[in-house]
């Protein structure tokens, strides 16, 4: 009997539409828009944690929609004027309510689960070999958030049977997600409100750093708060008296209080580095993170070749190892450079898309004249250094003419920059070998100190 009723609910209620909107809307947003979630090491199809965080980011609009769908479902009895009739039936109210709420929960969980499945298949078919244990928790909390919002909407609509209830709830939840939002401009996501308060929203930000994940205290605190929200929604659904409705508010208050005690107060304890993913895996002097272990077979021989070239060019001052860059930084913040290590930023498009001899050239550049400004899809900095970096790489690799690291642009600024690089190349190669080495070493010092005077050092122009 219960199974038959549940099937009827799934066929004739608003519940299936909720699941379709969750799945279809999210896939349309993620797949039809060429956004930042497709680029870099933190792309949503590149790593399991990035996939989980990106799909959960969809809660920014799915959470308000879930409470709206729940409220519309909760108005069904009052719209059909069956409320008094249903109270006279021998079936307990909680059992009748459980079937209706269960149908909504099943469709929402199925819709979001299929979304995660689509992302998971792409990650599994990708290059990564790292499988973290914590990523399913991120997605399960998202499912709980959707179900809790829907049941809360159903309960409030049952207690306040008005056609204004669904839109008002949607607007309130949407406003809450905006006010409680965290921003990724800093090294760690931070919000405008106190951190514990911001974490009452289950919405995550689009991941910018591949190594970051949510801490266990965040998962636990949000789970308690959402369970309280769910319990209040269910209690409002079955409440038949004014007193019962007032008591139904207790679970959400208790859940919020417990969550505020558990949720971290500081951003550094909210998003934390996945230590297992950040652990270094090495082949001789070339090291990458465990998350990018699949890149090591390609990177190791090229890194060793680059170190040999750098030793020939710089002698004892040359770096002795190649290591993937793992330091967290604010958006557009300067990189933490080191003269003894070639830092490899796999978010740098020039490095990420390079292979073979071109990859060796890019590694030589990072050891000889690294860019201080990060060169990622999120920031776009560091491109101004490409012309002078091309000069340094061509010199170290013994090219007979200047070889650009990327195809020069045709705008006036780029044309002028490349013309200056050509002039610097001609001046540098016309000098005696000892003087060439001296200027390259001085330009490298300028690059490591982030003075931006590499080109002037190469040309001997002391007036800049």
Query: pLDDT value at position 10?
Result: 61
**pLDDT band at 114; cut points 50, 70, 90:** very high
Q: Please compute the mean of the pLDDT values over residues 147-154 and round it to a whole number.
A: 95
State percent of the chain over pLDDT 90: 67
Q: Are 228 and 255 in contact (CB under 8 A)?
A: yes
Burial class (CB in 10 A: 0-12, 13-18, 19+), 25: middle
Query: pLDDT value at position 330?
Result: 87
- Report whether pLDDT(94) > 80: no
Which tens digits make up the pLDDT trace of 179-226? 999 888 887 888 889 999 999 999 998 998 899 999 999 999 999 999
Query: pLDDT value at position 459?
Result: 85
- Report whether pLDDT(7) > 60: yes
- Report whether pLDDT(1) > 50: no
Which tens digits make up the pLDDT trace of 310-353? 999 999 999 999 999 999 888 878 898 999 999 999 999 999 99
For the chain, give the mean pLDDT: 89
For 171, other C-beta atoms within 10 Å of its C-beta total 12
**pLDDT band at 283; cut points 50, 70, 90:** very high
Q: What is the pTM of this model?
A: 0.90
Highest mean pLDDT among 175-184, 190-199, 249-258, 409-418: 249-258
Query: pLDDT value at position 86?
Result: 46
Query: pLDDT value at position 125?
Result: 94
Which tens digits make up the pLDDT trace of 53-90? 999 999 999 999 999 999 998 887 655 555 554 455 55
Which tens digits make up the pLDDT trace of 418-434? 999 999 999 999 999 99
Query: pLDDT value at position 381?
Result: 62
For 201, other C-beta atoms within 10 Å of its C-beta total 23
Q: Are 405 and 390 in contact (CB under 8 A)?
A: yes
> Taking the chain, what is the end-to-end CA distance rounded to the nearest angstrom?
85
Which tens digits make up the pLDDT trace of 357-402? 999 999 999 999 999 989 888 876 657 889 999 999 999 999 989 9
Query: pLDDT value at position 85?
Result: 42
Q: What's the maximum distance between 2 C-alpha atoms anywhere in the chain?
A: 102
3-state SS of the chain?
Answer: CHHHHHHHHHHHCCHHHHHHHHHHHHHHHHHHCCCHHHCCCCCCCCCHHHHHHHHHHCHHHHHHHHHHHHHHHHCHHHHCCCHHHHHCCCCCHHHHHHHHHHHHHHHHHHHHHHHHHHHHHHHHCCCCCCCCCCHHHHHHHHHHHHHHHHHHHHHHHHHCCCCCHHHHHHHHHHHHHHHCCEECCCCCCEECCCHHHHCCCCCCCCCCCCCEEECHHHHHHHHHHHHHHHHHHHHHHHCCCHHHHHHCCHHHHHHHHHHHHHCCCCHHHCEEECHHHHCEEEECCEEEEHHHHHHHHHHHHHHHHHHHHHHHHHHHHCCCEEEECCCCCCCCCCCCCCCCEEEECCCCHHHHCCCCHHHHHHHHHHHHCCCCCCCCCCCCCCHHHHHHHHHHHHHHCCCCCCCCCCCCCCCHHHHHHHHHHHHHHHHHHCCCHHHHHHHHHHHHHHHHCCCCCHHHHHHCCCCC
């Amino acid at each position: 009997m219960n199974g038959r009723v549940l099937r009827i609910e799934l066929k004739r209620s608003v519940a299936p539409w909720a699941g379709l909107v969750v799945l279809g809307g999210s896939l349309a947003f993620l797949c039809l828009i060429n956004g930042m979630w497709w680029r870099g090491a933190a792309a949503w199809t590149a790593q399991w944690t990035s996939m989980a965080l990106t799909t959960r980011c969809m809660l920014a609009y799915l959470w308000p929609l879930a409470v709206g769908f729940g409220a519309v479902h909760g108005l069904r009895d009052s719209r059909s004027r069956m409320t008094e009739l249903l109270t006279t039936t021998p079936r307990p109210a909680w059992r009748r309510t459980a079937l209706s709420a269960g149908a909504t929960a099943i469709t929402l969980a199925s819709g979001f689960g299929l979304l995660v499945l689509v992302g998971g298949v792409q990650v599994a078919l990708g290059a990564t070999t790292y499988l973290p244990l914590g990523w399913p928790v991120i997605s399960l909390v998202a499912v709980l958030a959707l179900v809790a919002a829907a049941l809360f909407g159903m309960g409030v609509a049952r207690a306040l049977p008005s056609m204004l209830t669904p839109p008002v709830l949607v607007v309130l939840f949407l406003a809450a997600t905006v006010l409680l939002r965290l921003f990724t401009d800093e090294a760690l996501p931070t919000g405008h409100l106190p951190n514990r308060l911001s974490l009452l929203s289950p919405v995550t930000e689009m991941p910018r750093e591949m190594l970051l994940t949510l801490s266990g205290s965040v998962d636990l605190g949000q789970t308690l708060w959402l369970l309280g929200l769910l319990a209040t929604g269910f209690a409002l659904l079955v409440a038949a008296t004014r007193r019962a409705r007032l008591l139904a508010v207790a679970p959400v208050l208790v859940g919020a209080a417990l969550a505020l005690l558990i949720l971290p107060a500081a951003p550094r304890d909210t998003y934390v580095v996945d230590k297992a993913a950040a652990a270094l895996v090495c082949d001789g002097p070339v090291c990458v993170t465990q998350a990018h272990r699949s890149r090591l077979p390609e990177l190791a021989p090229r890194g060793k070749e680059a170190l040999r070239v750098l030793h020939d060019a710089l002698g004892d001052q040359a770096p002795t190892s190649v290591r993937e860059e793992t330091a967290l930084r604010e958006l557009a913040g300067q990189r933490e450079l080191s003269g003894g290590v070639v830092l490899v930023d796999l978010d740098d498009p020039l490095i990420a898309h390079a292979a073979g001899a071109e990859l060796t050239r890019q590694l030589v550049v990072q050891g000889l004249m690294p860019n201080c400004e990060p060169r990622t899809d999120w920031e776009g900095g560091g491109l101004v250094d490409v012309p002078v970096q091309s000069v340094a790489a061509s010199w170290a690799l013994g090219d007979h003419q200047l070889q650009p690291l990327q195809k020069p642009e045709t705008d006036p600024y780029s044309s002028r920059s490349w013309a200056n690089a050509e002039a610097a190349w001609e001046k540098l190669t016309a000098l005696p070998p000892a003087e060439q080495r001296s200027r390259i070493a001085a330009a490298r010092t300028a690059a490591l100190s982030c003075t931006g005077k590499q080109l002037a050092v190469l040309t001997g122009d002391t007036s800049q």
